[in-house]
Structure 1
């Protein structure tokens, strides 16, 4: 829990009328250093170690902010087994590591995200534009299902996966035809083309729902991150020494330009 402000406590940050204490930062760091990633963490007295503590303050104030905003809306964490999900690099890069980390590990954050971003979506024009910009993603290459005569199946083979002469023979043959003998790895090969997949472009209608879901998820992540950033600017006050790791006001600042 995030404690109420106490004049005698060492404070790292304030979120509205509540405080994140230095003791809480210490406890979160100690838990990390006692965990499976301890060997990868920076030395506590290095610049990276100090920035680790600043990052932990960002996590703690984000958790406190989410608790406050959820309480103001009468929202509660689900009791139906909504377990934490794995934090992926993609999610971290999309939303900023702190938001992604907290959202992945805190069911209440996901409840709040759904409430805040209920109206977020993407239009048909945006979905179609994404498809048109990424036609290579929705184009299947020509392939052959190949097996060696009196030998093992090679499975599905695409252009560029076989040596030149062997590939030329395979892709010149039709379904059910035998190609070879032709030079291949280790000597002559004779192969049978068991099936032909001409490839081609996947129709927009086939992948429309997939694209819409992907773009909507991205829009939701970004909208929630921006909303949290605005609320943090209004409610969060960081104490000296616990600034954001990228804040240029401290000597350990990262992401300098």
Structure 2
């Protein structure tokens, strides 16, 4: 991916003994500008264009850092081509930072490294239970009624209906009737309505025991992402050196910084 003999002036960053040459930054930028999102990219000679290159350096050094750390642990990328990429989500980017999330999503070796260094991450039972108690609305299902509109001898199914989905008088009539009963005629949009409640699916709160495994899996996934991001951040601080002109885009020491306190 990178060489070790590039002249100092042609180096954008170093990851341990590995260098990231400016030519690699140029190639990655050219790839982006030739891609489907080229029209959305900033002008290359403005401040935003220079910050785009700084972001690309962040991606490149993170990729290199993954390779260096994986090699130190004797890890290799999985051979399964189906794992070539995973979806990049906004929630993951917000939790771990856009660069880490993007590299983890696009780089199978990064996911192998993540799984290895976070193998011991566990979410305590009390945290799982507390999440359930704080989010009872997520685990409470509304009552659902399957309703048909009667017109003479015919019945037209309206599909599943929940509270708040029908105009007031129609909702009152439907949710006052029992399963199999007819409600109406009731005045509604366009005239008189006669409705039949074909089936009722009772709502209610799902017991903790039935959702615990799903909650634990969700919280563990988040904990793993955050633990890996923290682990990479510490390795980054130890091994990455950015050359002048390629500082982090948010570094206030360069003239193009847009994030200041």
Taking structure 2 as the reference length, what is the TM-score of the superposition? 0.95
* Structural mapping, 1:96-107, within 5 Å: 96-107=97-108
Deviation per CA, 1:164-216, whole angstroms, max 9, x where unpaired? 11111111111001111112222111111011122110110110000000000
| Partner residue in 2 for 1:193 | 197
Alignment of 1:205-216 (within 5 A): 205-216=209-220
Structure 1 counterpart of 2:137: 136
TM-superposition CA deviations, 1:60-111 (whole Å, max 9, x none): 0000000000000111011122221121111111111000100111110011
Partners in 1 of 2:9 and 2:74 — Cα distance? 29
Match of 1:224 in 2: 228
Q: Which residue of 1 aligns with 2:42?
A: 42
TM-aligned CA distance change 1:40 to 1:136, over 3 Å: same
CA deviation after TM superposition for structure 1 residue 7, in Å: 2.6
Trace 1:13-24 onto structure 2 (pairs within 5 A): 13-24=13-24
Give the SS at the match of 1:190: strand
Kept in 2: contact 1:9–1:21 (CA 8 A): no
Aligned to 2:258, what secondary structure does the other structure show? coil
Give the aligned CA root-mean-square deviation in angstroms: 1.2
| Secondary structure class of the residue paired with 1:154 | strand
Checking the alignment, whether the CA contact within 8 Å between 1:5 and 1:17 is kept in structure 2 is: no
Q: Distance in 2 between matches of 1:53 and 1:39?
A: 16
For 1:220 and 1:33, the matched residues in 2 are separated by 33
Return the alpha-carbon distance in structure 2 between the equivalents of residues 23 and 171 of structure 1: 69
Is the contact made by 1:5 and 1:18 (CA closer than 8 Å) also made in structure 2? no
SS at 1:65 equivalent? helix
Counting matched residue pairs gives: 257
**Aligned twin of 2:109:** 108
CA distance in 2, matches of 1:247, 1:137: 40
| Cα separation, 1, equivalents of 2:186 and 2:50 | 64
Aligned to 1:26: 26
Q: 2:155, 2:36 → 1: CA distance?
A: 47
Q: Deviations over 1:215-257 (max 9, x none)?
A: 0000000000000000000000011111111111122223333
Counterpart Cα distance in 1 of 2:50 and 2:187: 62
Q: Do 1:120 and 1:216's aligned partners in 2 also have CA atoms closer than 8 Å?
A: yes
Question: Whole-Å Cα distance in 2 between the matches of residues 41 and 247 of structure 1?
Answer: 21
Distance 1:129 1:255 in 2: 36
Gaps of 5+ in 2: none
TM-score of the two chains, using structure 1 as the length reference: 0.97
Are the aligned partners of 1:141 and 1:200 in contact in 2 as well (CA < 8 Å)?
yes
Which deviates further from its counterpart, 82-91 or 208-217?
82-91
